[in-house]
Amino acid sequence: MSGDAHAQGLTLAAMRRNYTRGALLEQELPASPDMLFDAWLQQAMDENLPEPNAMTLATVGSDLRPSTRIVLLKGHDANGLVWFTNYQSRKGVELEGNPHAALQFHWVTLERVVRVEGLVHKVSDAESDAYFALRPHASQLGAWASPQSRPVASREALDAAFAELERQHNDGRAPARPPHWGGYRLVPQYWEFWQGRTGRLHDRITYQRRDDGSWQIQRLAP
């Protein structure tokens, strides 16, 4: 091992942070996990955390190998969590073959993590159309220009495709939503809320959906 690598290893091994910002106690829990999630997300937004709606999406392909990527939450309620993407991307293809997926939020400053597991389905065309109409013009064109997750010849080729779309839509009118682009909704079956605590004795509270639609609440050891 080189001197630099050895020094870096020691630095990483020595990294410590004591979590002191909060607690998560059973007597304070709402009956529904989406209510707790909404409160935590709102606090992350109120504290102006960077990209508070950024979440890791985990999917599994036909080869049984998991993959992750960051997507942005664009809506949530008791029915699930919504994001938008290219249906022909790697995640879209994997969700088509296996709709089981997981999401994770990590709000470092708040010392909190939220994990969600469930089944994913496409949102309605009307919902996808409504969101696409709200996107900035460049983002609308980008949805057409980018063959997401597929090889491209070069950055120049990608830029040229975008420039051609700009030329075609130089009147500023919004293009129609691409048929290969739209929204997904994960319908939660399982939530886990993690709050950092001192001495690594963190709070971990789970909500598991019962057959009757209610939620079973449990505490897990950290």
Indicate the DSSP class of residue 175: P
Is 122 annotated for ligand binding? no
Is 18 annotated for ligand binding? yes
Give the β-pairing of 80-86 and 66-72. unpaired
Query: Residue 90: its pLDDT value, please?
Result: 96
Cα gap 52→117, rounded to integer Å: 19
Q: What is the pTM of this model?
A: 0.89
Q: In sequence order, what are the beta bridge partners of 67?
A: 59
Q: Which two tokens stand for residue 53?
A: 């709606």
Instruction: For the domain made up of 23-128+180-220, give the CATH fold.
Output: Pnp Oxidase; Chain A (2.30.110)
C-beta of residue 207 within 8 angstroms of C-beta of residue 190: yes
Query: Which residues of the chain, if any, have pLDDT below 70?
Result: 1-10
Is 71 annotated for ligand binding? yes
Cα gap 74→51, rounded to integer Å: 12
Is 186 annotated for ligand binding? no
Cα gap 105→112, rounded to integer Å: 8
Q: pLDDT for 163-194, tens place per residue?
A: 988 888 888 788 999 999 999 999 999 999 99
Is 194 annotated for ligand binding? yes
Cα gap 217→36, rounded to integer Å: 12
Cα gap 122→126, rounded to integer Å: 11
Question: Which residues are designated catalytic?
Answer: 200
Query: Residue 148: its pLDDT value, please?
Result: 86
Domain range summary for the chain, segments of one domain joined by +? 23-128+180-220
Element (H, E) at 187: strand 181-195
Q: Which two tokens stand for residue 74?
A: 């664009």
DSSP for 96-128 reads HH--EEEEEEEETTTTEEEEEEEEEEEPPHHHH
